[in-house]
Amino acid sequence: MNRPPREIDLRIDARWVIAVEPGGVLERHALIVDDGRIVALCPQHDADAAFAAAARVACDEHVLIPGLVNAHTHAAMTLLRGVADDLPLDTWLERYIWPLEARYVSAEFVRDGVELAVAEMLCGGVTCFNDMYFFPDATAAACDAAGMRAMLGLPVLDFATAWAPDAEGCLQRGFEARDRWKHSALLVFALAPHAPYTVGDRTWGTIVTYARQLDLPIQTHVDETRLEVEKSLVATGETPLARLDRLGATGPGFIGIHCVHVDSAGIELLARQGCHVVHCPASNMKLASGVAPVAAMLDRGVNVALGTDGAASNNRLDLFSEMRLAGLLAKVVSGDAAALPAATLLHMATLGGARALGLDRSIGSLEVGKAADVVAVRFGDPETLPVFDPRAHLVHAAGREHVSDVWVAGRHLVNRGVLTTVDRGAVAARARSWQSRLR
Ligand SMILES: [Zn+2]
């Protein structure tokens, strides 16, 4: 006698599925989801007999991929999008961004900015982001309300900000926020000293101690500009990354953001210590910081993820465009058209990001047992036809405008382009109100 079909929550039938791990492209498969997790990925005709789904979504001209991981951003800075452009990093930060933040940043600013960022990222297929910004409890509340997954970096700077008077205040307020939200299923935390040049040795020592005691990752901007590296060499005789290594900050829990100006000794250090790197090509190009040696880092076995950085230096939170830019940049600087192929870029934007955040056991690929963080991308428009290789299409032909559906932990957060948990009109109205206040 045949067994009755197993009752499950959701079945998604797709023309193509790219699980990322294992690699390759599956055709006409069904992704089976129950209680927020992937329970099977099988040919559609096999699913008919095996499963009875409470809900079924047909993605007949779509590719299913794991949710994209934006491994570095400052989500609330969407409210500063386009406020100061065409400037190098030091001028941009010191003359524009820091004074604006000192004047305007508050819990309300962060909540409104993060809601805007979450709306933008979800519609663009990003299901998890790694944040570094003030008022992380406001970020947590906005993520919780939307059903968005995130790693929240508790920001630390040695000088007074809208968030805290000094590094000690940053840590105290950060830990209070973590205590309030640490049991949330979708949120994890990291320590986020802003950069080697804004945090002194004593504070780095404290951060390293906390990271070990609490088993928290450390994320920081490092070796971002030539000027940063030169100033550090003059002051200490070491590159910023070498200094952090001497202070005990590097290791498998270390996320180095940018790493544009790492030399071969720096790449060796990153590999030896098992560090992760977040490559942010658009931000690095826009601030004229340079080009990170991504192909060399990957060749040496360093895990490299992709990030957008904040909307004030990008100005979009768009992982599709980061994949494409990362690929094109790697090809042009190496003179090798084979550098960073589409499968590698998709891996960086999904499992690479998950690994950097220490979440690769639960997200980053469409494997049985993992959370159902899933994105459907439609290849039905003139600009995405015909389709020979869906992976190359994701990177070089499609864009975030082709994302149709998004699930986080099995929850349908974007349904045929419509946000289900975020009030798009209200978010837009609040963004416009900040536009007049910031003027
Ligand atoms: Zn940044």
| The pLDDT of residue 1 is above 80 | no
| The pLDDT of residue 305 is above 90 | yes
Do 48 and 75 belong to one domain?
Answer: no
Mean pLDDT of 267-292: 97
**Contact indicator for 418, 85 with CB cutoff of 8 Å:** no
Percent of the chain with pLDDT over 90: 97
Do 154 and 123 belong to one domain?
Answer: yes
Whole-number average pLDDT of the chain = 97
Residue 268's domain spans which residues?
68-356
Q: Decide if 273 is inside a domain.
A: yes
Please count the structural domains in the chain: 2
Final residue belonging to a domain, choices 356, 382, 417: 356
Final residue belonging to a domain, choices 356, 390, 425: 356
Q: How many angstroms is it from 99 CA to the middle of ligand 1?
A: 17
Q: How many angstroms is it from 131 CA to the middle of ligand 1?
A: 9
**Buried/exposed 132-143: b ≥16 CB within 10 Å, e otherwise:** bbbbbbbbbbbb
Do 96 and 236 belong to one domain?
Answer: yes
Burial class (CB in 10 A: 0-12, 13-18, 19+), 45: exposed
Q: How many angstroms is it from 200 CA to the middle of ligand 1?
A: 18
Q: How many angstroms is it from 342 CA to the middle of ligand 1?
A: 25
Is-cis flag, bond preceding 66, omega within 30?
A: no
**Contact indicator for 51, 34 with CB cutoff of 8 Å:** no
Which helix (H) or strand (E) segment holds residue 149: the answer is: strand 149-156
Reduced to 3 states (helix: H, G, I; strand: E, B; else coil), residue 255 is strand
Q: How many angstroms is it from 73 CA to the middle of ligand 1?
A: 6
Q: How many angstroms is it from 60 CA to the middle of ligand 1?
A: 38
| The pLDDT of residue 172 is above 60 | yes
Q: How many angstroms is it from 23 CA to the middle of ligand 1?
A: 31
Q: Could you tell me the CATH number of the domain that includes residue 73?
A: 3.20.20.140
Instruction: State which amino acid sits at residue 43.
Output: P
Do 72 and 32 belong to one domain?
Answer: no
Q: Decide if 414 is inside a domain.
A: no
Q: Decide if 432 is inside a domain.
A: no
Q: How many angstroms is it from 313 CA to the middle of ligand 1?
A: 8
Q: Give the whole-angstrom CA distance, residue 390 versus residue 379.
A: 9
Q: How many angstroms is it from 256 CA to the middle of ligand 1?
A: 11
Q: How many angstroms is it from 271 CA to the middle of ligand 1?
A: 22
Do 21 and 170 belong to one domain?
Answer: no
Q: How many angstroms is it from 366 CA to the middle of ligand 1?
A: 29
Do 40 and 108 belong to one domain?
Answer: no
Q: Give the whole-angstrom CA distance, residue 133 versus residue 113.
A: 11
Q: How many angstroms is it from 125 CA to the middle of ligand 1?
A: 20
Q: How many angstroms is it from 330 CA to the middle of ligand 1?
A: 21
Mean pLDDT of 338-355: 98
Q: How many angstroms is it from 310 CA to the middle of ligand 1?
A: 6
Which contacts of 202-207 are long-range, i.e. CB under 8 A and separated by 24 or more positions?
Answer: 203/156, 203/158, 203/167, 204/244, 204/247, 204/249, 205/247, 205/248, 206/167, 206/171, 207/156, 207/171, 207/249
Q: For the chain, give the longest Cα–Cα distance.
A: 79
Q: How many angstroms is it from 74 CA to the middle of ligand 1?
A: 6
Do 146 and 208 belong to one domain?
Answer: yes
Mean pLDDT of 363-379: 98
Q: Decide if 439 is inside a domain.
A: no
Q: How many angstroms is it from 223 CA to the middle of ligand 1?
A: 12
pLDDT band at 280 (very low <50, low <70, confident <90, very high): very high
Q: Decide if 50 is inside a domain.
A: yes
Q: How many angstroms is it from 195 CA to the middle of ligand 1?
A: 9
| The pLDDT of residue 281 is above 80 | yes
Q: Decide if 367 is inside a domain.
A: no
Q: Decide if 276 is inside a domain.
A: yes
Q: How many angstroms is it from 28 CA to the middle of ligand 1?
A: 40
The H helix count followed by the E strand count for the chain is 17, 16
Mean pLDDT of 104-126: 98
Tokens 């036809």 identify what position? Answer: 385
Mean pLDDT of 225-229: 96
Do 400 and 293 belong to one domain?
Answer: no
Q: How many angstroms is it from 414 CA to the middle of ligand 1?
A: 27
Q: How many angstroms is it from 133 CA to the middle of ligand 1?
A: 9
pLDDT reported for residue 145 = 98
Chain segment 37-81, per-residue pLDDT in tens: 999 999 999 999 999 999 999 999 999 999 999 999 999 999 999
Q: Could you tell me the CATH number of the domain that includes residue 31?
A: 2.30.40.10
Contacting residues for 209 by C-beta, under 8 A, at least 6 apart: none
Do 111 and 224 belong to one domain?
Answer: yes
Q: How many angstroms is it from 29 CA to the middle of ligand 1?
A: 38
Nearest to 138 by CA among 69, 82, 80, 187: 187
Do 44 and 146 belong to one domain?
Answer: no
Q: Which two tokens stand for residue 99?
A: 């004074």
Do 61 and 206 belong to one domain?
Answer: no
Reduced to 3 states (helix: H, G, I; strand: E, B; else coil), residue 266 is helix
Q: Decide if 287 is inside a domain.
A: yes
Q: How many angstroms is it from 221 CA to the middle of ligand 1?
A: 6
Q: How many angstroms is it from 103 CA to the middle of ligand 1?
A: 20
pTM above 0.95, yes or no: yes
Do 301 and 382 belong to one domain?
Answer: no
